[in-house]
Amino acid sequence: MALFPDIMPRPEPNMDDAAFWENCAARRLAFQACAACGVFRHPPSPLCPACHAPETRWVDAPGTAEIYSFTVVHYPSHPAVREHLPYVVAVLRFDGIEGVKFVSNVTGVSAEKLRIGMKVRLWWDDIGEGMHLPRFRPAQ
Amino acid sequence: MNASKRRPAIVGTGQSEYTKWGGIQDRSQFRITAEAILAALADAGLTADDVDGFASFSNDGNEAPVMQAALGVPELRWSSMVWGGGGGGSCAAVAQAVAAVDSGHADVVVVYRGLCQGQGRRFGQAGAHRTHGSFTAPFGLFAPSQMLALMVQRFMFETPATSDHLCEIALSSRANANRNPNAVMRDRTLSREEYFASRWIAEPLRLFDCCLETDGAAAVVITTAERARDLDRQSVDILAAAHGSGPGWNTGPLGAHNMPDADYASTNNRRIARELFARAGLAPGEIDTVQIYDHFSGLVLMALEDFGFCGRGESGDFVASGAIRRDGSLPLNTSGGQLSEAYVHGVNLIIEGVRQLRGESCNQVADARTCLVTGGLGVSPTSAIILGRS
Ligand SMILES: [Zn+2]
């Protein structure tokens, strides 16, 4: 069962980030890098900010990440989360994916145990209609 | 300082009543905005016939050409709106008015903001389209309080700032609002115990770390120094105005969260601060009072550091010393700010800056000659101005 109910907003891919979400649908977390100079960028964008080349390659993220920052959300800003409070949103960083910070959830951990620098492991949340979202839980 | 006759000055301010969210239902949002503009013009000793420009920000729903017709403004020569969500553009709208006046594109520009959230969508509401919404909403990051809590958490990890320091921001703002008859929270005192007993919104932010949600409208009128001299009302000089964003900020915490590490736990104002003080020919120590965009208490701490009122990591000690209280060395948000006066996306803070330099604040700083006002912090773009007594 998905972490949040069906009324939770889903990704709405556009022409510039569709490849990211196609990878997620195939349970692959990969970030966009410039095919010419290798600079990473996120969220996806059509041109490399460093050299302006449009060609990209998608580099697989490792299965573990580190918490760069986090918040424990207590206020239901959307009806989909009303029965799921509190929940954790974190900004994550991945070894080898230089400069990319990624927003996701950390599940299966109490608020008191959360800390910046904590290692977390990727899991795929099946949100239906062929889409999966990358979420995380403590690595241990 | 620019010594030209076209040097811009604020000559009038106006506001509606301020109420809590949904409190204004008897008149339309557009009407109270128009009324605030007329009040600002009357304060300046001007009329709608004198206006030839409008500037606003953040997808303002009260369109300038419609406002022109509603007020009977004969000729529009300037209309502009600043990109970005939140109140990042509040002082940037002043910067645009300054640019218009300074360059001769317009002579009298009104900066305004009005919102009655019970009449339309709630500002910052979940589900509203954002550029990078796909990278936030499916993960439960909906509201600015949640988005900026991530930055505050990182700030509190990188510096010695604590919840006690956030509390000090909330308490001093409330104490100031308790002396402001127009503040939404004028009758509601706040104690340290109540602060810590208040519910979490998004850790590390509690209820009292978050700005009010307000119905209300506010406006300021900007014209040339030469024109200002002919008016009865005391004008306030705009010594410097700046707006912008650092590299890689993109949509910032409202979507991308991919700011450079050195900038992540910051207000995105360090570059603006350097430019602003240089243009004004002033140092932070020469500022008498500050009105800092307080959508969330933690960002106020960051701003004190980013604008150079204290060093990196020193804002906690700075506020704990009592410096920002009304009798301190740097009285902050003397109207009660957006935590306790009203949340009119920063235009109410600009008005309080003007009041201080006219000697009309309910928490008047003795002999205030300079005031720094900032726009929405930690967003992109963001902005600030320095006002000076004429
Ligand atoms: Zn490149």
B278: enclosing H helix or E strand = helix B270-280
Residue B3 has pLDDT above 80, yes or no: no
**Residues of chain A neighbouring B205 (CB-CB closer than 8 A):** 71
Q: In this complex, is the C-beta atom of B141 within 8 Å of any C-beta atom belonging to chain A? A: yes
What is the Cα–Cα distance from B377 to B354, expressed in whole angstroms? 20
Q: Are residues A78 and A135 in the same domain?
A: yes
- A127 in helix, strand or coil? strand
Helix ranges restricted to H, B142-246: 144-158, 163-177, 192-197, 225-229
CB contact under 8 A, A69 and B134: no
Strand partners, A88: A72
Does A8 fall in a domain? Answer: no
Structure tokens at A87: 């929940």
Q: Are residues A94 and A39 in the same domain?
A: no
pLDDT tens digits for A110-123? 999 999 999 999 99
Q: Are residues A66 and A89 in the same domain?
A: yes
What is the Cα–Cα distance from B233 to A7, expressed in whole angstroms? 55
What's the gap in Å between B154 CA and the centre of ligand 1?
A: 29
Q: In this complex, is the C-beta atom of A94 within 8 Å of any C-beta atom belonging to chain B? A: no
Looking at chain B, the whole-number percentage of residues with pLDDT higher than 70 is: 96
Interface test with A, best of B122, B136, B139 (most A CBs within 10 A): B139
CB contact under 8 A, B142 and A12: no
Residues 6+ apart with CB under 8 A from A96: A59, A62
CB contact under 8 A, B255 and A21: no
Asked if A10 contacts A91 with a C-beta cutoff of 8 angstroms, the reply is no
CB contact under 8 A, A73 and B140: yes
What is the Cα–Cα distance from B323 to B353, expressed in whole angstroms? 18
Residue B315 has pLDDT above 80, yes or no: yes
Confidence class for position B123, pLDDT limits 50, 70, 90: low
What's the gap in Å between A31 CA and the centre of ligand 1?
A: 14
- Nearest 10 degrees: Cα torsion B321, B324, B325, B327: 90
Instruction: Check residue B121 and give its pLDDT.
Output: 65
Confidence class for position B126, pLDDT limits 50, 70, 90: low
Instruction: Check residue B2 and give its pLDDT.
Output: 47
Q: Are residues A77 and A124 in the same domain?
A: yes
A11, A70, A86 ranked by CB distance to B138: nearest: A11
Structure tokens at B311: 């060093």
pLDDT tens digits for A24-33? 999 999 999 9
Instruction: Check residue B130 and give its pLDDT.
Output: 75
Confidence class for position B61, pLDDT limits 50, 70, 90: confident
What's the gap in Å between A54 CA and the centre of ligand 1?
A: 8
Does A3 fall in a domain? Answer: no
Q: Are residues A24 and A56 in the same domain?
A: yes
Structure tokens at B232: 């009865």
Identify whether A43 is preceded by a cis peptide bond (ω within 30 of 0): yes
Q: In this complex, is the C-beta atom of A89 within 8 Å of any C-beta atom belonging to chain B? A: yes
Q: Are residues A119 and A95 in the same domain?
A: yes
CB contact under 8 A, B250 and A87: no
**Residues of chain B neighbouring A70 (CB-CB closer than 8 A):** 150, 153
Residue B127 has pLDDT above 60, yes or no: no
CB contact under 8 A, B200 and A9: no
Where is average pLDDT lowest: A90-99, B124-133, B151-160, B260-269? B124-133
Tell me the average pLDDT across B171-180. Answer: 98
Residue contacts between A and B (CB atoms, under 8 Å): 110
Q: In this complex, is the C-beta atom of B266 within 8 Å of any C-beta atom belonging to chain A? A: no
Tell me the average pLDDT across B101-112. Answer: 97
Of A60, A92, A115, the position where a domain reaches its end is A60
What is the Cα–Cα distance from B66 to B53, expressed in whole angstroms? 13
Tell me the average pLDDT across A22-42. Answer: 98
Q: Which of residues 195-224 of B touch A (CB under 8 A)?
A: 199-205
Confidence class for position B343, pLDDT limits 50, 70, 90: very high
What's the gap in Å between B100 CA and the centre of ligand 1?
A: 38
Confidence class for position B1, pLDDT limits 50, 70, 90: very low
Number of domains in chain A: 2
Q: In this complex, is the C-beta atom of A91 within 8 Å of any C-beta atom belonging to chain B? A: yes
Q: Are residues A98 and A136 in the same domain?
A: yes
Q: Are residues A31 and A100 in the same domain?
A: no
Strand partners, A133: A125
pLDDT tens digits for B294-303? 999 999 999 9
Where is average pLDDT lowest: B34-43, B58-67, B186-195, B199-208? B58-67
- A76 in helix, strand or coil? coil
CB contact under 8 A, A74 and B250: no
Confidence class for position B117, pLDDT limits 50, 70, 90: confident
Write out the CATH class of domain B3-121+211-388. alpha beta
Confidence class for position B329, pLDDT limits 50, 70, 90: very high
Does A100 fall in a domain? Answer: yes
Q: Tell me which chain A residue has its CA closest to the CA of residue B157.
A: A116
CA distance A12 to chain B (A): 6
Residue B378 has pLDDT above 90, yes or no: yes
Q: What is the pTM of this model?
A: 0.96
**Residues of chain B neighbouring A13 (CB-CB closer than 8 A):** 134
What is the Cα–Cα distance from B344 to B360, expressed in whole angstroms? 20
CB contact under 8 A, B140 and A87: yes
What's the gap in Å between A99 CA and the centre of ligand 1?
A: 14
Instruction: Check residue B256 and give its pLDDT.
Output: 84
Of A6, A35, A60, the position where a domain reaches its end is A60
How big is chain A, counted in residues? Answer: 140
Residue B255 CB coordination number (10 Å) = 22
**Residues of chain B neighbouring A10 (CB-CB closer than 8 A):** 138
Tell me the pLDDT of chain A averaged across its residues.
97
Tell me the average pLDDT across B7-27. Answer: 96
Instruction: Check residue B131 and give its pLDDT.
Output: 81
Tell me the average pLDDT across B206-222. Answer: 97
- Beta pairing class for B8-15 and B214-224: antiparallel
Does A4 fall in a domain? Answer: no
CA distance B258 to chain A (A): 5
Question: Which residues of B carry out catalysis?
Answer: 293, 343
CA distance A14 to chain B (A): 9
CB contact under 8 A, A74 and B138: no
Range of the domain at A37: 14-60
What's the gap in Å between A33 CA and the centre of ligand 1?
A: 8
Q: On the CB side of A50, how many CA atoms lie within 13 Å of its CA? A: 12
Q: Which strands make up the sheet holding A40-41, listed edge to edge?
A: A40-41, A30-34, A56-60
What's the gap in Å between B36 CA and the centre of ligand 1?
A: 50
Does A6 fall in a domain? Answer: no
Tell me the average pLDDT across B24-52. Answer: 97
